[in-house]
Amino acid sequence: MRIIVSPDPVTTGAAAAHAVASAADDRPDLVLGVATGSSPQPLYRSLAILVRAGLDLSSATAFALDEYVGLAPDHPESYHSVIAREVTAPLHLDPARVHVPEGPAADAGAAAEAYERAIARAGGVDLQILGIGTNGHIGFNEPGSAADSRTRVVELAPQTIADNSRFFLDPAEPVPTHALTQGVGTILEARRIVLVATGGHKADAIARAVEGPVTAAVPASFLQRHPDVTLFLDDAAASRLSPALSTPSVNA
């Protein structure tokens, strides 16, 4: 696990964007795994600047990690909408190559299997971008998720529902309670993983993921078993790591 600590979220996102850009330079038909939420936004913004300067992602394929169950795809907070707005358009991706799990599908089990097959048909994910929940989730694999779990419908933890309520400001509209998410096992099959975490509210989850035991109680701790993971952290998110890991530097 490599850890790169930067002073603030913007610098963190820029460092992660350069890692993604260099992977795309090496392989124009890169298969990218994309996360939603706040953490990767500075990454996407930096990457968009590189795209405007000439980086070509038009042959890349993208697979989102998850989608809410019970939100129409055209709802502004559905991950179909968020990915279209924050990823596909600014990165000039080909919309036909951007995939989001079909959260509202009538047969969610079939939708989950179809998503796994689509990832396999694309040859697997080359580089997966991840955030981390304050409870240590990756994708929406909440505490208790197995290391070999696959794409499936999950119930969101109360902590996640509380954390996500900031995106659902209309009190008449409840925060979704379920999602269709790639499994931990699905995520761990990506050849390379880039996790972005910023802010002191992520410090505990990061410390447990990096230095705690590998346990289903902290799904991000399963990343310790992956051979190619880079964590891009700001000072605040790194603040509970042991001093050798949290200094602004690259750690092998």
251 is catalytic: no
Q: Which span sits near ligand F6R by CB under 6 A: 21-29, 53-61, 134-142, 223-231? A: 134-142
Shortest reach from residue 35's CB to ligand F6R, in Å: 4
Among 11, 12, 39, 151, binds ligand F6R (CB under 6 A): 39
Q: Does 139 bind ligand F6R (CB under 6 A)?
A: yes
Q: Which of 76, 71, 66, 69 is nearest to 36 (CA)?
A: 66
- Decide whether 29 or 108 has the Cβ nearer to ligand F6R: 108
Q: Which span sits near ligand F6R by CB under 6 A: 55-63, 133-141, 149-157, 221-229? A: 133-141
Shortest reach from residue 88's CB to ligand F6R, in Å: 15
User: Of 66, 67, 116, 163, which residue is the catalytic one?
Assistant: 66
Q: Which span sits near ligand F6R by CB under 6 A: 34-42, 211-219, 221-229, 239-247? A: 34-42
Cα separation, 80 vs 101, whole angstroms: 8
Among 36, 61, 78, 221, binds ligand F6R (CB under 6 A): 36
The helix (H) or strand (E) run that includes residue 195 is strand 192-197
How far does Cα 38 stand from its chain's mean position? 10
164 is catalytic: no
Phi-psi region of 224 (alpha: psi -120 to 50; beta: other; left: phi over 0): alpha
Phi-psi region of 145 (alpha: psi -120 to 50; beta: other; left: phi over 0): beta
Shortest reach from residue 168's CB to ligand F6R, in Å: 13
Q: Does 235 bind ligand F6R (CB under 6 A)?
A: no
Among 33, 131, 176, 183, binds ligand F6R (CB under 6 A): 131
Q: Closest CB to ligand F6R belongs to which residue? A: 131
Residue 127's beta-bridge partner residues?
A: 32, 192
Q: Does 65 bind ligand F6R (CB under 6 A)?
A: yes
| Per-residue tokens: 34 | 């994309």
CA torsion through residues 7, 13, 158, 221, sign: negative
Shortest reach from residue 198's CB to ligand F6R, in Å: 8
CA angle 96, 32, 216 (to 5 degrees): 125
DSSP 250: E
- Decide whether 28 or 174 has the Cβ nearer to ligand F6R: 174
75 is catalytic: no
In this structure, the dihedral spanned by the alpha carbons of residues 167, 172, 177 and 181, taken in order and rounded to 10 degrees, is -50
Phi-psi region of 240 (alpha: psi -120 to 50; beta: other; left: phi over 0): alpha
Total residues contacting ligand F6R by CB under 6 A comes to 14
80 is catalytic: no
Q: Which residues are catalytic?
A: 66, 135, 137, 142
| Residues making contact with ligand F6R (CB under 6 A) | 35-39, 65-66, 131-133, 137-140
